[in-house]
Structure 1
Amino acid sequence: MTINMEDNRVALRTTVEDFLFEESALLDEGRFREWLELLTEDIHYIIPVQVTKERARGDVGSTTMAHWDDDFTGLQMRVLRLDTEYAWAEDPPSRTRHFVSNVRVSPRPSENELDVRSNVLVSRCRGDSRTSDLITAERRDVLRHTDTGLRLAGRTVILDQVVIATHNLAFFF
């Protein structure tokens, strides 16, 4: 029997997309404790500050400053804080909608991990405002195959905006 490599590639991308879509649903529905279950305990989640540079100077992300630079404990603390009276930035909770597209999957040197790049548009509405924030970014994820399925082992969020117009980044990408 001949294995069609293209079929395997499409099946892998479909599996990854299903994972990303389910993750987005958990975030949009405010099911943050369930979202934590999709993360590995050694996760690194970072949103570097964007810097405008000339093209010849390379990447636009800061290597020294970040809006977020969290491990699993930091993300867990963010989630737990949402259930307290001290989560002023999210009381009442934002209404978010994650749109994930342009998913690209490639293997990593480690057999059980994948590099996944995707584009994300997050729409966020606050309170009774007639306007919503629209934030676009590229996500550079590391997904790991585990006994319980795919898990997010790393996420770098490369924001398209240098100046963020939203009042805060109190939501997950």
Structure 2
Amino acid sequence: MNAPARHLPPGRTPDPGTSDALRHFFDVEARLLDAYAYPQWLPLLEEEFVYRVPVTVTRDDPALPPNVPGAYLVDESRESLASLWARRFEPEHIDFAWGEVPLHRIRRFVTNVVAEPGERDGEFLVTSNVLISVTHQSHPAVLAPAGRCDVVRRRPDGWGLVSRTVALDESVVRLPHLRMVI
């Protein structure tokens, strides 16, 4: 996630239209997630989609990575998100998902979206900053800043998410549910 910036040869940066389209894609995606519109969000994920949140650690040596290699708080696939997480919000299940009632109010703020061509044609590596605000009932909002690294693929109908890695800034997670980070 915190890899050094790659220096791209001229012509390797996406054109402004592609960059704008990717920013718009992430705005729409955040709106769908904030609205718990999982049936509309899941089709944005490619079949091989992987979602990971690595374990964040605070190190004395700034040269060391801020994450534990190979250790994840969340390591999910498209299938597990669809069958385990999204199903909790279906009308026939919501009455039994007590941790979701009443629903948390969530806002995702996605900024500093930077895209560069990926390793495969039609794919882009997109980094961004996210701030997640979560409020439940009358409790104060919990804020979770993070950095995100996505691989996005161009499709005939728009864009598809291939992978997402979210690096939380805090080593102590205060969010009620880690799926809110998506």
Q: TM-score, normalised by structure 1?
A: 0.89
Structure 2 counterpart of 1:80, from 57, 64, 87: 87
2:178 alignment partner, SS class: coil
1:50 aligns with 2:56: yes
Q: How does 1:160-171 map to 2 (within 5 A)?
A: 160-171=169-180
Q: Give the ranges of 4+ consecutive aligned residues of structure 1 lying more than 6 Å apart after TM superposition.
A: none
**Aligned counterpart, 2:8:** none
**Unaligned stretches of 5+ in structure 1?**
none
1:16 alignment partner, SS class: helix
- 1:133, CA displacement in angstroms? 0.7
1:148 aligns with 2:157: yes
Indicate how the Cα distance of structure 1 residues 8 and 46 shifts in structure 2: closer, same or farther if over 3 A, else same: closer
- 1:55, CA displacement in angstroms? 2.7
Q: Quick check: 1:27–1:172 contact (8 Å CA) kept in 2?
A: no
Moved more, 93-102 or 163-172: 163-172
The alignment-based identity, stated in percent, is 31
Q: Distance in 2 between matches of 1:162 and 1:10?
A: 36
Q: Quick check: 1:89–1:170 contact (8 Å CA) kept in 2?
A: no
Indicate how the Cα distance of structure 1 residues 23 and 72 shifts in structure 2: closer, same or farther if over 3 A, else same: same
**Aligned counterpart, 1:89:** 99
2:120 alignment partner, SS class: coil
- 1:31, CA displacement in angstroms? 0.5
Q: How does 1:31-50 map to 2 (within 5 A)?
A: 31-50=37-56
Q: Distance in 2 between matches of 1:31 and 1:109?
A: 31
Indicate how the Cα distance of structure 1 residues 8 and 152 shifts in structure 2: closer, same or farther if over 3 A, else same: closer
1:52 alignment partner, SS class: coil
Q: Distance in 1 between matches of 2:132 and 2:14?
A: 30
Q: How does 1:1-173 map to 2 (within 5 A)?
A: 9-55=15-61, 58-77=64-83, 78-83=85-90, 84=93, 85-129=95-139, 131-173=140-182
**Aligned counterpart, 2:7:** none
Q: Quick check: 1:90–1:170 contact (8 Å CA) kept in 2?
A: no
| RMSD, aligned α-carbons | 1.9
Q: Quick check: 2:150–2:165 contact (8 Å CA) kept in 1?
A: yes
Q: Distance in 1 between matches of 2:62 and 2:70?
A: 19
Count of aligned positions: 168
